[in-house]
Amino acid sequence: MAALDEVFRRAWPVVVASTARLTRDLDLAEDCTQEAFEPAVASWSATPPDNPAGWLTTTARRVALDRLRRDAVLARRLPLLVEPGGADEGDPPPTDPLRLVFICCHPALARESQVALTLRLVCGVDVPAIAAVLLTGEAAVARRITRAKQKIATARIPFRVPPEEDLPARLDTVLTVVHLAYTAGHVAARGALRDDALTERATALARMLVRLLPDEPEPPALLALVLLTEARGPSRTTSDGDLVLLADQDRSRWDRALIREGLVLATAALRHPRHGRFALQAAVAGLHATAPSWSDTAWAQIVTTYDALMRRWPSPVVALNRAAARSRLEHADLDEVLHDIDALAPDLAGYPYLPAARADVLARLGRSDEAARAYDDALALTTNPTERRYLARRRTELEPSDDR
């Protein structure tokens, strides 16, 4: 059953995207996809087909046509079912998920709705996980998704990749969505530390964007960031499944091929006169990837890069990462770093990495009782079991202090 669940999770966005091309209705596409999955559960328990996504897409499209006929609207919608060049009734086109990304990121939608809708439909991220990466409530995310679907229907937003001249206006949101999807998979909200299906989906979308927009600097920069992060994957957990932070990872286990590819892409993006925030984030990842050890990391250069990123894209999360990097500088003033972290609390309420970073600095200052309380705060906000075990272990390792 676990293997079947994995097949469904990987196929879901492809099937929804392809079915939406037929129905021009996102809610109907989701309903038909769900209905196609039901007979698959019964018929695939013994032997799944060679191409599950193709089987499910064909089934979902048949369900959709039956729905349209039953509702007596096929004749009215028939002109909308034909696209220039025709649509393949067999296997879904490999760019279908990317097509749906650009539909969901239409400028007629509010940006926060674009992001939430795309994460849900294209990437298969559930509402709680979307709320976690967007640092907002689940009810707000659900409302954004509903409003976005209604807007697409009432505004008759076309189900196609926009013309080339319209792509730049949507690109930043598309890149943001793909990055957030990767982030949601890199540390899953529940279960194992990572969601392999989601990280693979985000990586594939990043590669599609590079092919679609070869002259833009930010798609290869995003792909570089993803690859350089993925390269550390094998060393992120022990054989027992416990979390290993970057400082303690076995760097000999890092994927050198991914690092080489990521560095080439990041270097080219940084040299482009129009490079942006993803190029700078990739630069930070590259500095970590090329450091021979944690102690030999170029922390001053990382802080300088975060300074540039803050000027280009001011964000409380970037400010937190910058503060954490500053804490590693030689002769760092940890009290000043702690003050900077505390100043971010109003903007990062509910973000578990803020109290975790605070706990680390407090522990290094010898203020163990305060660090323990900060770890408790981080545990209260953390949902991933692997991260929770790590935080709990760090808390128990604290030495008692004379804090009051």
Q: Mapped to the 3 state alphabet, what secondary structure does the chain carry?
A: CHHHHHHHHHHHHHHHHHHHHHHCCHHHHHHHHHHHHHHHHHHCCCCCCCCHHHHHHHHHHHHHHHHHHHCCCHHHHHHHHCCCCCCCCCCCCCCHHHHHHHHHCCCCCCHHHHHHHHHHHCCCCCHHHHHHHHCCCHHHHHHHHHHHHHHHHHCCCCCCCCCHHHHHHHHHHHHHHHHHHHHHHHCCCCCCCCCHHHHHHHHHHHHHHHHHCCCCCHHHHHHHHHHHHHCCHHHCECCCCCECCHHHCCHHHCCHHHHHHHHHHHHHHHHCCCCCHHHHHHHHHHHHHHCCCCCCCCHHHHHHHHHHHHHHCCCHHHHHHHHHHHCCCCCCCHHHHHHHHHHCCCCCCCCCHHHHHHHHHHHHCCCHHHHHHHHHHHHHHCCCHHHHHHHHHHHHCCCCCCCC
Name the burial class of residue 251, with classes exposed (0-12), middle (13-18) and buried (19+) by CB atoms within 10 angstroms of its CB: middle
pLDDT at 96: 59
On the question of pLDDT at 18 being above 70, the answer is yes
Question: What single-letter amino acid sits at 201?
Answer: R
Supply 378's token pair. Answer: 């981080």
CATH code of the domain containing 80? 1.10.1740.10
Instruction: Measure Cα distances from 107 to 102, 104, 163, 173, 241 in Å.
Output: 10, 9, 14, 9, 42
Give whichever of 77-81, 150-154, 174-178, 367-371 has the largest mean pLDDT.
367-371
Does residue 116 lie within any of the structural domains? no
Per-residue pLDDT band for 19 (boundaries 50, 70, 90) equals: confident
Supply 395's token pair. Answer: 């808390």
Does residue 251 lie within any of the structural domains? yes
Does residue 42 lie within any of the structural domains? yes
pLDDT at 60: 87
Per-residue pLDDT band for 394 (boundaries 50, 70, 90) equals: very high
**pLDDT mean over 45-64:** 79
Residue 244's DSSP bridge partners are: none
**pLDDT mean over 186-202:** 87
Of 87, 111, 128, the last residue of a domain is 87
Does residue 179 lie within any of the structural domains? no
Q: Which long-range contacts (CB under 8 A, 24 or more apart) does 41-44 make?
A: 41/4, 44/4, 44/7
pLDDT at 255: 97
d(CA 112, CA 117): 9
pLDDT at 298: 97
Cα-based torsion angle of the residue sequence 117, 119, 121, 127 in order, rounded to the nearest 10 degrees = -80
pLDDT at 72: 55
On the question of pLDDT at 404 being above 70, the answer is no
CB atoms within 10 A of CB 292: 8
Q: What is the mean pLDDT of the chain?
A: 85
Does residue 194 lie within any of the structural domains? no
Count of domains forming the chain: 2
pTM: 0.81
Least confident of 57-61, 216-220, 302-306, 393-397: 57-61
**pLDDT mean over 284-298:** 97
**pLDDT mean over 196-202:** 88
Give the tens place of pLDDT for each residue, 347-375.
Answer: 999 899 999 999 999 999 999 999 999 99
Per-residue pLDDT band for 253 (boundaries 50, 70, 90) equals: very high
d(CA 29, CA 215): 33
Pick the closest to residue 199 from 129, 249, 143, 138 (CA basis): 129
d(CA 186, CA 199): 6
Domain residues for the domain of 65 are 1-87
On the question of pLDDT at 90 being above 50, the answer is no
**pLDDT mean over 181-189:** 89
Per-residue pLDDT band for 50 (boundaries 50, 70, 90) equals: confident
Cβ(58)–Cβ(23) under 8 Å? Answer: no
Give whichever of 12-21, 81-90, 173-182 has the largest mean pLDDT.
173-182
Pick 158 or 338 by higher pLDDT.
Answer: 338
Of 264, 297, 330, the last residue of a domain is 297
On the question of pLDDT at 113 being above 90, the answer is no
Does residue 237 lie within any of the structural domains? yes
Give the end-to-end CA distance of the chain in Å, rounded to a whole number.
Answer: 52
Name residues whose C-beta falls within 8 Å of residue 342's C-beta, 6 or more positions apart in sequence.
358
Name residues whose C-beta falls within 8 Å of residue 48's C-beta, 6 or more positions apart in sequence.
4, 7
Least confident of 35-49, 139-153, 382-396: 35-49
Least confident of 10-14, 90-94, 333-337: 90-94
Of 87, 107, 141, the last residue of a domain is 87
Per-residue pLDDT band for 5 (boundaries 50, 70, 90) equals: low
Pick 242 or 52 by higher pLDDT.
Answer: 242
pLDDT at 401: 58
Does residue 309 lie within any of the structural domains? no
Does residue 330 lie within any of the structural domains? no
Per-residue pLDDT band for 336 (boundaries 50, 70, 90) equals: very high
d(CA 211, CA 160): 17
